[in-house]
């Protein structure tokens, strides 16, 4: 159900650091024109940690409204509080989202039993199919493949996929052997999308597709059709961008890139700050080589 290229959408801010609704609409339109399969508002790339609960809900409402059912919406509604995650997921359902992306609970570091109970409660009470999000580098806790597989076995209609962002392709092969064929595994790392698809992933939740949505989508679709020669050519072209968008903590570089391209104001909320000048020069050079800036 959830295959292809899903853009982890940035949240544009105005110069006075409010949500820039006009630019958000433009971003959604450009993504849909480029053919992406879906949008993920209010993930880490959308600076969800510094959005108020009201803003978080409003951004999801706006993206659903702007997309107008022309692509799928996978709302980021995770939290390290189970009750809070359920509340936000219910709101996303009422707003019209198609699914919920549920990050592992950060900071409180639950056991695998706690992770299972957390995700199960959200799946049962939130009202949307959920995609688990495993990114231990940010959360401090790893969702074991065994936990994911147990959730899928116990809740096959509610736990429908996983965003895998450990940087370990072997985990995809391992998990693929533990779950049914309809369980969706999505790459959480742009540079690993192609090898992950080769061993059983079904797409990507992408940062780079904020910048080059058509090309990332074409790469993913080619790989899913088995045309790895074409997909490999696109991967090679985009690989410098994949790496430079993580030259500093994301979403700093991707927002800088979009600002260089004239699509948003380069505004962050603390504790995020603009990227360093030397990194900005590297990023600009990569964008210029791709014909995105002068």
Q: Mind giving me the DSSP string for 241-280?
A: HHHHTTSSSTTHHHHHHHHHTTSS-----TT--PPPHHHH
Residue for token pair 């997309």: 67
State yes or no: is 163 an active-site residue: yes
Catalytic site residue from 93, 150, 163, 255? 163
SS3 35: coil
Contact 8, 187 (CB under 8 A): no
The residue among 182, 142, 176, 178 whose CA lies nearest residue 160 is: 182
Q: How many CB atoms lie within 10 A of CB 49?
A: 12
Quote the crossing angle between the two packed helices 82-95 and 53-67, to the nearest 10°: 30
SS3 134: strand
SS3 105: coil
Contact 180, 156 (CB under 8 A): yes
The pair of three-digit structure tokens given for residue 184, joined into one six-digit string: 């969706």
State yes or no: is 133 an active-site residue: yes
Distances (CA, A) of 159 to 98, 133, 138, 204: 13, 11, 22, 17
The strand pair at 38-40 and 203-206 is best described as unpaired
Distances (CA, A) of 11 to 57, 125, 203: 12, 27, 22
Catalytic site residue from 133, 150, 255, 268? 133
d(CA 34, CA 27): 11
Q: What is the DSSP letter of 23?
A: H
Paired strand residues for 5: 204
Kindly list the catalytic residues.
Answer: 133, 163
């Amino acid at each position: 159900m959830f295959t292809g290229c899903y853009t982890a959408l940035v949240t544009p801010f105005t110069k006075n650091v409010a949500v820039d609704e006009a630019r958000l609409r433009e971003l959604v339109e450009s993504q849909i024109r480029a053919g992406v399969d879906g949008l993920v508002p209010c993930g880490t790339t959308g600076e969800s940690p510094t959005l108020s609960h009201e803003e978080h809900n409003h951004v999801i409402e706006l993206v659903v409204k702007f997309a107008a059912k022309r692509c799928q919406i996978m709302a980021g509604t995770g939290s390290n509080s189970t009750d809070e995650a359920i509340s936000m997921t219910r709101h996303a359902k009422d707003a019209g989202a198609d699914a919920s992306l549920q990050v592992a609970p950060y900071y409180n570091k639950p056991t695998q039993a706690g992770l299972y109970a957390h995700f199960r409660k959200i799946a049962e009470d939130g009202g949307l199919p959920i995609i688990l999000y495993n990114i231990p580098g940010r959360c401090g806790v790893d969702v074991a493949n065994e936990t994911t597989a147990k959730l899928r076995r116990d809740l096959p209609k509610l736990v429908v996929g996983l965003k895998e962002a450990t940087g370990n392709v072997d985990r995809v092969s391992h998990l693929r052997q533990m779950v049914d064929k309809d369980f969706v595994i999505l790459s959480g790392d742009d540079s690993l999308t192609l090898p992950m698809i080769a061993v059983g992933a079904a797409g990507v939740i992408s940062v780079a597709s904020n910048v080059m949505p058509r090309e990332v989508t074409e790469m993913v679709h080619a790989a899913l059709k088995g045309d790895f020669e074409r997909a490999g050519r696109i991967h090679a072209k985009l690989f410098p961008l994949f790496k430079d968008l993580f030259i500093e903590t994301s979403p700093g570089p991707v927002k800088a890139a979009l600002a260089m391209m004239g699509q948003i104001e380069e505004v962050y909320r603390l504790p995020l700050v603009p990227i360093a000048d030397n990194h900005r020069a590297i990023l600009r050079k990569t964008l210029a080589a791709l014909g995105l800036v002068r």
